[in-house]
């Protein structure tokens, strides 16, 4: 079905999936990346500290 016909028949679905769900997925990916970055950085800093202790 033509997208123009579909969006006019289902405007709320179009608005919800296209904009709000898209934005929420982007925010969720950003949160996951930030949490992962924090865990990775903490792990790396701990490894560096342990390596320093052994020297």
Q: Which residues in this chain contact another protein in the complex, by CB under 8 A?
A: 3-4, 7-8, 11-12, 14-16, 18-20, 22-24, 26-27, 30-31, 34-35, 37-38, 41-42, 44-46, 48-49
Distance (Å, whole) CA 26 – CA 47:
31
CA atoms within 13 A on the CB side of 3: 3
In the complex, what is the shortest distance from the CB of residue 43 to another protein, in angstroms, rounded to a whole number? Answer: 11
Residue number with CB closer to another protein (46 or 55): 46
Q: How far is the CB of 9 from another protein (least distance, A)?
A: 11
CA distances from 39 to 29, 32, 33, 46 (A): 15, 11, 10, 11
């Amino acid at each position: 079905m033509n997208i123009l016909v579909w969006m006019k028949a289902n405007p709320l679905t179009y608005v919800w999936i296209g904009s709000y769900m898209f934005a929420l997925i982007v925010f969720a990916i950003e949160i996951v990346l930030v949490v992962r970055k924090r865990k990775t950085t903490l792990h790396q800093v701990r490894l560096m500290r342990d390596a320093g202790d052994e020297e």
